[in-house]
C-alpha cells in the first residue's frame, strides 16, 4: 500500500517535535536549577527576537491592556520578560519532580493566600467545586501542589496537536493529578464535582463567535461560558485561583478568591456576573505580575457585533496587510 506523502511528513514532523521536547527535558534535568533557569530565560529572550508574529501579538495586547501606562519601550521590555517567564515555566514543568520531590518541599516553597482557608474547609467537608484559573504564573505547579496536599483534583486540558507530545504530557501530568481532555469534559466535570472532586478550568482564552463578551482590561473579550454555566446550573462552588511566582526555585503564592453568586439573578445574568467577577480578579492579579501572563494569545481577536472601530481594538497582523478583526455575525 502506497504511503500518503503528506501523512508521512506530518508523522515525521511530530516525531521530530517529540524528540526536541524529550531532548529539552534531558538538558534541563542535567543542569543545576540556577543554570536551568538562566538557560530558560535566555531561550525566552531569543524566542522573543526570532518570532516576529508572536512578538507583534504580545505588543498589541500590551498596548490595549496597559494603555498610556506603558510607552513603546516599556511594552517591549515587558514583552521580553513575559517571554522569559514562558520558557521558565516550561523548564519548571520539566524539572519540578526533581526540584520539589515531596510535600514537605512544596510547603516550604508554596503559600496559599486569600480564601485558602475557606477552600480547605470545603475540602475537609468532602465538598467539590470548580477552580477557575488562567494562563498566569504556573498553573501546572498549582495543580501538583493540590495533589500533594491530597486534594481530589482534576484538570481540564486542551490536547496539543502532536499526538506523541500529547501522550507524553498526559502521562507526565497523570503522575500528579487526574487529567481530562477538553472533549467530553462537561459530563466528566459534573460527575467529578458531585463526587467531591475539584475541577480546574482555564477560562481566559478567546471563545470565538459562541462566547459571551465580558470586559477585560476595559475591552470586551469573547469568553467560554462553560464554567459559569455548570456552576449556575448545578449550584457548584467556585473559586478563582492563580499561582504567581515569588522567587527562583519554584517559589509560588497560590492566590484564591471565593465566588458567591448574588441572589435574585436569572441563569443568564448569573453566568455573566461570574465571568465578569473572574476577569476582574484575573486583571488585578495580572497587574500585580504582568510579566507572568500569557500575552501571546490573541485574547481580543473576536469582536462583538456593532462595535465601533478605533485604536482601542487590537490589530493582529500575523501575515499580510494590517486588517481590522471581523465582528461576530448576527
Beta bridge pairs of residue 293: 136
- Whether 20 is covered by a domain: the verdict is yes
Mean pLDDT value of segment 220-229: 95
Q: Kindly report the backbone phi and psi dihedral angles of residue 308, in degrees, each rounded to the nearest multiple of 5, phi listed first.
A: -80, 125
**pLDDT value for 16:** 87
d(CA 197, CA 127): 7
Residue 209 has pLDDT above 60, yes or no: yes
Mean pLDDT value of segment 210-221: 95
**pLDDT value for 18:** 82
Residue 173 has pLDDT above 80, yes or no: no
- Whether 286 is covered by a domain: the verdict is yes
- Whether 316 is covered by a domain: the verdict is no
- Whether 314 is covered by a domain: the verdict is no
- Whether 310 is covered by a domain: the verdict is no
Which of 5-14, 164-173, 301-310, 320-329 is predicted most confidently?
301-310
Question: Tell me: the pLDDT tens digits for 100-129?
Answer: 888 899 899 999 999 999 999 999 999 999
- Whether 83 is covered by a domain: the verdict is yes
Residue 36 has pLDDT above 60, yes or no: yes
- Whether 302 is covered by a domain: the verdict is no
Beta bridge pairs of residue 212: 223
Instruction: Assign 319 a pLDDT band (cuts: 50, 70, 90).
Output: low
- Whether 308 is covered by a domain: the verdict is no
Mean pLDDT value of segment 232-243: 96
Question: Tell me: the pLDDT tens digits for 76-101?
Answer: 999 999 999 999 998 998 888 888 88
pTM across the whole model: 0.89
What domain range is 251 assigned to? 5-292
- Identify each DSSP E strand in the chain by its residue range: 110-114, 129-133, 153-157, 178-181, 198-202, 212-216, 219-223, 237-247, 251-259
* Structural domains of the chain, count: 1
% pLDDT > 70, the chain:
93
Largest CA distance in the chain: 65
d(CA 189, CA 247): 33
Mean pLDDT value of segment 144-157: 85
Amino acid at each position: 500500500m502506497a504511503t500518503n506523502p503528506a501523512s508521512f511528513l506530518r508523522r515525521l514532523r511530530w516525531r521530530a517535535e517529540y524528540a526536541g521536547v524529550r531532548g529539552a527535558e534531558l538538558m534541563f534535568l542535567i543542569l543545576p536549577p540556577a543554570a536551568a533557569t538562566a538557560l530558560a530565560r535566555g531561550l525566552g529572550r531569543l524566542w522573543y527576537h526570532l518570532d516576529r508574529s508572536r512578538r507583534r501579538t504580545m505588543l498589541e495586547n500590551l498596548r490595549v491592556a496597559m494603555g498610556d501606562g506603558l510607552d513603546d519601550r516599556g511594552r517591549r521590555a515587558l514583552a521580553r520578560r513575559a517571554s522569559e517567564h514562558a520558557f521558565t515555566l516550561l523548564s519548571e514543568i520539566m524539572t519540578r519532580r526533581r526540584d520539589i520531590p515531596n510535600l514537605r518541599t512544596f510547603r516550604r516553597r508554596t503559600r496559599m493566600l486569600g480564601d485558602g482557608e475557606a477552600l480547605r474547609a470545603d475540602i475537609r467537608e468532602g465538598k467539590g467545586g470548580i477552580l477557575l484559573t488562567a494562563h498566569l504564573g504556573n498553573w501546572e505547579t498549582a495543580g501538583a501542589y493540590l495533589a500533594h496536599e491530597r486534594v481530589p483534583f482534576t484538570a481540564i486540558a486542551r490536547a496539543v496537536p502532536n499526538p506523541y507530545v500529547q501522550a507524553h504530557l498526559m502521562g507526565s501530568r497523570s503522575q500528579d493529578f487526574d487529567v481530562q481532555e477538553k472533549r467530553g469534559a462537561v459530563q466528566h466535570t459534573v460527575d467529578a464535582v458531585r463526587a467531591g472532586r475539584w475541577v480546574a478550568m482555564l477560562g481566559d482564552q478567546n471563545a470565538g463567535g459562541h462566547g459571551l463578551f465580558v470586559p477585560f482590561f476595559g475591552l470586551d473579550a469573547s469568553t467560554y461560558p462553560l464554567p459559569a454555566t455548570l456552576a449556575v446550573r448545578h449550584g457548584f462552588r467556585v473559586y478563582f485561583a492563580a499561582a504567581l511566582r515569588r522567587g527562583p526555585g519554584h517559589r509560588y503564592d497560590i492566590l484564591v478568591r471565593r465566588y458567591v453568586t448574588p441572589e435574585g439573578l436569572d441563569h443568564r445574568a448569573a453566568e455573566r456576573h461570574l465571568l465578569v467577577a473572574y476577569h476582574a480578579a484575573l486583571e488585578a492579579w495580572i497587574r500585580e505580575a504582568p510579566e507572568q501572563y500569557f500575552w501571546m494569545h490573541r485574547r481580543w481577536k473576536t469582536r462583538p457585533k456593532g462595535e465601533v472601530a478605533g485604536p482601542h481594538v487590537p490589530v493582529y497582523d500575523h501575515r499580510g496587510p494590517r486588517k481590522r478583526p471581523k465582528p461576530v455575525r448576527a
